[in-house]
Structure 1
Amino acid sequence: MSILNVMWAGGSAFASVHKVHQQILGLAEPGASVNTWLLQGNAAGCKTKVGQVREWHLSSARLKGRHLWKLLAPWMCARFRQALPDDVEVLLLDGLGAARVLLPVLKSLPGIRAVVVFHGSTRLRRADYKLFNRFPSSRLTLVAVSQTLARSVEHDLQVPVTVLRSAFNPVAFGTALLSREQARSWLGLPLATPVLGAVGRLVSGKGFLCLLDAFAATLVDQPDLRLVIVGEGPERAVLEARIEHLGLSDKVSIPGHLHEAATLYRAFDWVAIPSSDEGLGLILQEAVMAGVPVLVSELAVFREQLADTGWYAPIGDVGAWSQTINRALGASAERIAAAQFRALAPDQAWKDFSEATQALLSRRQ
C-alpha cells in the first residue's frame, strides 16, 4: 500500500494535527510506503515521523484561490496530478483546507481513495457541499477526531462522518514520561511548590488570558502557587503584558514551544485547559495518561471523554475558574486523577482507535 499524507503546513501551530496524522500513519499495514506533502512551511517544522516530505511552499492566496489565483486553479490541479506518486492508493488529507485543494485532482483518478480528517470546527462554503457529494462513499471517507466534532460536521455537511477518536499508545506514552523530580528539574521548578500547568498554542481560543486573571485571583488564598504555560504563538506579547500588569513575573513562566512537552506533565499538580473550542483536546489525554488531573472548560468534547469525573468551569468566567482552581488545590489530586484515568480508559481507547484506523486504511472499493 502507498499512502500520500497531505498536510496544510509545518510548525508548532500544527503540532497536534501532526501528532494525529503520525498516529494514523503508524497503524498502516506493514510494508506500506508513506509520503507527505507540506503545502506550506518546511519539513523541519514538522516534528513527527510522516515519511519522506515534499515541500510545496505555496502562499495562502494561491491555496485558497484568492484574486488572480482563482483563474489558475486548473493549472494548480495539473501540477498536483503530475506530482502524485504512480502507486498511491490512499490520500490522507488534513482537514477542509487540504480537501479543497486536492479533491478536485482526484475526479479522473478512480484508483485513489481519499480520507479527510477533521480536527476542529471550520467554516463551510457552498462549494464544499458540491465537492464532497461529487465522490461516492467507496472513494471518499470523512472522519472526525471526536464524536462531538463528527456530529457537528455531519450536521453541517449532511454527509456521513466517521468517528476516529484519536488516542495514544499508553505503553509508549508512559515509557517516555519523566518523573516528577526530573520534569521539575527540566523546567527549573522547586519540588515542594504547588504548580498549575497549561499546554497549548498561545492564541486567544486557548483561554490563557482568562487563566492568568483567575490565577492572580487564586493567589490571595494560595500565595505559593506557580503557573507554567508551555507553548508559543502570536499572543505571547499580550500574555506577557498581562503578566507584567498583574505583577506575576515571579509566579508565571512561559518557556515556549517544547518538543519534550509530552514528557513533562508530572511536573504539574493539575493541568488547566481553559479553551473556548476544541476538536478533541490532546492535552487532556496526555495529562490524564500521565496521572495528572485536569481542570477544563465546559465543552461537550471534554465531557465526551471525562463524563462526571471532569472538573469543569464556564468558558471565560474568571471567577468560576479561580474558585475551581482553589477547590482543586484542596482536593486529593491522586484520587481525582485515578477517576479521570478510568473515565478516559486509555487502553480501550487505543484499541478502538487502532482497529478503526486499520479498517479505514485497508478499505477497498
Structure 2
Amino acid sequence: MNIVNIMWAGGSPYVSVHKVHQQILSQAGPGAKISSWLLQGQGACYGGESTREWHLSHRLLKGRHVWRALRPWLRGRFRDALEQANAQVLLLDGLGVSRLILPLLKVMPDLRATVVFHGKTRLRRADIALLRAFPASRLTFVAVSQTLADALAQDLGVPVQVLRTALEPNGFRRNLLGRQQARQALGLAEHGVRVLGAVGRLVDSKGFDYLLDAFARAARQQADLRLVILGEGGLRSQLQARIQALDLAQKVSMPGHCVGLEKLYRAFDWLLIPSHSEGLGLVLQEAVMADVPVLCSELPVFREQLGSAGYYAPAGDVGAWSNAIAACSDVQASTVASAQYQALQPEQAWQRFSQTSRALLGRA
C-alpha cells in the first residue's frame, strides 16, 4: 500500500495536526510505503517516511486573483508527483489541502482519499460541491471529535466518520519527565509555588488574552500562583505587553514552543484550556494521561471527553475563570486527575482510534 500524507504546512504551529496524522499512519502496517508532503514550511518526517517540502507561496496555494491562473500548472505538478509515488491512498489535511488535491481524483480513478478535519471549517458552496462529487468508496470524511463530525455532517449533508484522536497511552506516559525534571527544564522553582500551565498556539481562538486577566485577579489573592504559557504565534507581542501592563512579569512566563513539550506536563499542578473553540483539544488528553487535572472552557467537545469529571468555566468570562482558578486550590488535584482519567478512558480510546485508522488505510 502506497500512502501519501499531504499537509498544509510544517513548523511548530502545526504540531498538533501533524501528531494526529502521525498516529493515524502508525496503523498503516509494516508493508506500507508512506511519504509526506508539506505544501508550506519545513518539518521532520515521521519514523521511516520520506518528506517532500514543496515551499509553495501562500498566494499560490490560496489561488486568488491572478494566482488562480496557475492552478492547472500546480495540479499538473501534483499529478506527476503522485504518479511517481504510485500513490493509492491519500491522507489529506483539512479543507485547504482538499481544494487543491481532490480535483485530481477525477483524472486519477485509482486514487482513494481520506480528508481529516481538525477544527471548525467554513464551507463555501463550491467546497460542498467538490466534497460531494465523489462516491464514498473513493472519498471518506473524518473528524477528530463527535462534536465536529456532527457539525460537518449537517453542513455537508453526507456522513462524516468520527475518528476521535487518541494517543497510545503507555508510550506517552513512559516518556514523561517527573515533576522535578520537568520544572527544571522550564526554569521553575520545585517547591513553594503552584504552577498552572497553558499550551497552544498564540492565536485569538486559544483565549490566552483573557486568561491573563483572570489569572491576575486570582494571583492577587493567592501569591504562590505561577502561570506558564507554552506555544508560539502571532499574538506573542500583544500577550507580553498585557503581562507587563498587569504587572505579572514575575508570575507569568512564555518560553515559546518547547521541543519535547509533551514530556513536560508534570511540571504543572493544573492545565488551563481557555479556548473559544476547538476541534478536539489534544492537550487535554495529554494532560489527563500525565495525571494533571484540567480546567477548561465550557465547550461541547470538552464535555464529550471528560463529562461530569471536567472542571469548566464559560469561555471568555474573566470573572468566572478567576473564580475557577482560585477554587482549584480547594480540591485534591490527584482526585480530580484520577476521575478525569477514568472519564477519558485512554486505553479504550486508543483501541477505537487504531481500529478506525486501520480501516481508513485499507487494513480492515
Instruction: Give me the TM-score of the superposition, normalised by structure 1.
Output: 0.97
Q: Percent identity?
A: 59
Q: Do structure 1's residue 78 and structure 2's residue 56 form an aligned pair?
A: no
Q: Is the 8 A contact 2:203 2:233 kept in 1?
A: yes
Alignment of 1:278-357 (within 5 A): 278-357=278-357
Residues 205-252 of structure 1, C-alpha deviation per residue, up to 9 Å, x if partnerless?
111111111110001221111111111111110111010001110101
Matched residue, 2:234: 234
Matched residue, 2:160: 161
Matched residue, 1:361: 361
Q: Is the 8 A contact 1:7 1:38 kept in 2?
A: yes
Instruction: Give me the TM-score of the superposition, normalised by structure 2.
Output: 0.97
Which residue identity does 1:270 align to in structure 2? W
Which residue identity does 2:252 align to in structure 1? V
Matched residue, 1:178: 177
Please give the alpha-carbon distance, in whole angstroms, between the structure 2 residues aligned to 1:228 and 1:234: 18
Alignment of 1:62-73 (within 5 A): 62-73=60-71
Which residue identity does 1:336 align to in structure 2? V
Please give the alpha-carbon distance, in whole angstroms, between the structure 2 residues aligned to 1:208 and 1:295: 14
Please give the alpha-carbon distance, in whole angstroms, between the structure 1 residues aligned to 2:121 and 2:204: 16
Give, in angstroms, the shift of residue 50 of structure 1.
7.4
Matched residue, 2:220: 220
> Tell me, what secondary structure is at the counterpart of 1:97?
helix
Give, in angstroms, the shift of residue 72 of structure 1.
2.4
Q: Is the 8 A contact 1:94 1:116 kept in 2?
A: yes
Please give the alpha-carbon distance, in whole angstroms, between the structure 2 residues aligned to 1:6 and 1:310: 35
Number of equivalences? 362
1:56 aligns with one of 51, 54, 57? 54
> Tell me, what secondary structure is at the counterpart of 2:361?
helix
Unaligned runs of 5+ in 1: none
Q: Is the 8 A contact 2:45 2:51 kept in 1?
A: no
Residues 168-189 of structure 1, C-alpha deviation per residue, up to 9 Å, x if partnerless?
0011100100001111111111
Matched residue, 1:126: 125
Please give the alpha-carbon distance, in whole angstroms, between the structure 2 residues aligned to 1:334 and 1:41: 40
Alignment of 1:189-268 (within 5 A): 189-192=188-191, 193-268=193-268
Which residue identity does 2:119 align to in structure 1? G
Matched residue, 2:113: 114
Residues 6-44 of structure 1, C-alpha deviation per residue, up to 9 Å, x if partnerless?
00001111111000000011110221010111111123x
Please give the alpha-carbon distance, in whole angstroms, between the structure 2 residues aligned to 1:133 and 1:219: 52
Please give the alpha-carbon distance, in whole angstroms, between the structure 1 residues aligned to 2:142 and 2:73: 29
Residues 228-286 of structure 1, C-alpha deviation per residue, up to 9 Å, x if partnerless?
11111111101110100011101010011012110011010000000001000000000
Matched residue, 2:6: 6
Give, in angstroms, the shift of residue 47 of structure 1.
6.8
Give, in angstroms, the shift of residue 363 of structure 1.
6.1
Matched residue, 1:141: 140
Q: Is the 8 A contact 2:28 2:363 kept in 1?
A: no
Which residue identity does 1:172 align to in structure 2? G
Which residue identity does 1:225 align to in structure 2? L
Q: Is the 8 A contact 1:19 1:48 kept in 2?
A: no
Q: Do structure 1's residue 21 and structure 2's residue 21 form an aligned pair?
A: yes
> Tell me, what secondary structure is at the counterpart of 1:72?
helix
Which residue identity does 1:23 align to in structure 2? Q
Q: Is the 8 A contact 1:25 1:50 kept in 2?
A: no
Give, in angstroms, the shift of residue 88 of structure 1.
1.2
Please give the alpha-carbon distance, in whole angstroms, between the structure 2 residues aligned to 1:282 and 1:190: 27
Give, in angstroms, the shift of residue 71 of structure 1.
2.0
Which residue identity does 2:99 align to in structure 1? R
